[in-house]
Amino acid sequence: MNFSSKLLEDAVNEFSKLPGVGQKTALRLVLHLLNKEQEEVDHFGNVLIRLRKEIKHCSVCHNISDQHTCNICTAGKREKELICVVEDTRDVMAVENTGQYFGVYHVLGGLISPMDGIGPSDLFIDSLVQRVATTPVKEVILALSATMEGDTTLFYLYKRLKDFQIPITTIARGIAFGGELEYADEITLGRSIVTRVPYQNSLIK
């Protein structure tokens, strides 16, 4: 692309770094912003700057939050003894959307993936074990995607948690989630949380 302005080129380059945005789309978005009022564009920029600077991760469950401890962890009516382990904040949103789950969460921040150089120590796994060891927990639900990385992570978590003598359950693995919890339809995902099964069952095959 030949740009008539370096400022225009820089903006298009930044937008095209976003996932799923090619140069053409980037140009369209940038030109769209150029037609907006200055105030609106300032606000857009400020939202992005504040997002990166001010966002926090919950000290208990590691979910994205505006506070030191997130709304779910501080809510009085949630069952604190029931922990649903998920890959990232999108999965928390997916499970919340089902309206079928009333416990709390633990966000791992990814899945174990030796191919990408992501090992257990890169994820919030120690803090999960710590939670189970130091607070009353009556069940851990492992709600991870049905991928090789999801399976590897499930097995690793099971090994780390099995000595605590609490039920470790998993959502139905046969259900087509499209690989990711966030894509599951709410009814199917909600049902699989309600009908979760002991993880040990999936090991006897």
Binding mask 64-83 for Zn ion (x = CB under 5 A): ------x--x----------
**Cβ(154)–Cβ(144) under 8 Å?**
yes
Q: Pick from 58, 154, 161, 193: which binds Zn ion (CB under 5 A)?
A: 58
Q: Which stretch binds Zn ion (CB under 5 A): 57-65, 77-85, 108-116, 185-193?
A: 57-65
Q: Pick from 26, 61, 85, 92: which binds Zn ion (CB under 5 A)?
A: 61
Q: Which residue has the tokens 């504040």?
A: 50
Closest CB to Zn ion among residues 27, 140: 140
Establish if 142 lies at the interface with Zn ion (CB under 5 A).
no
**Cβ(168)–Cβ(199) under 8 Å?**
yes
Minimum distance from residue 93 beta carbon to Zn ion (Å): 13
197-198 and 64-65 strand pairing: unpaired
Establish if 161 lies at the interface with Zn ion (CB under 5 A).
no
Q: H/E element holding 141?
A: strand 139-142
Distance of alpha carbon 64 from alpha carbon 51, whole angstroms: 11
Minimum distance from residue 128 beta carbon to Zn ion (Å): 12
Provide the token pair at 144: 């991870």
Closest CB to Zn ion among residues 127, 152: 127
Q: Among candidates 198, 194, 178, 175, which has minimal Cα distance to 95? A: 194
The secondary structure of residue 59, as a DSSP letter, is: T
Binding site for Zn ion (CB under 5 A): 58, 60-61, 63, 70, 73
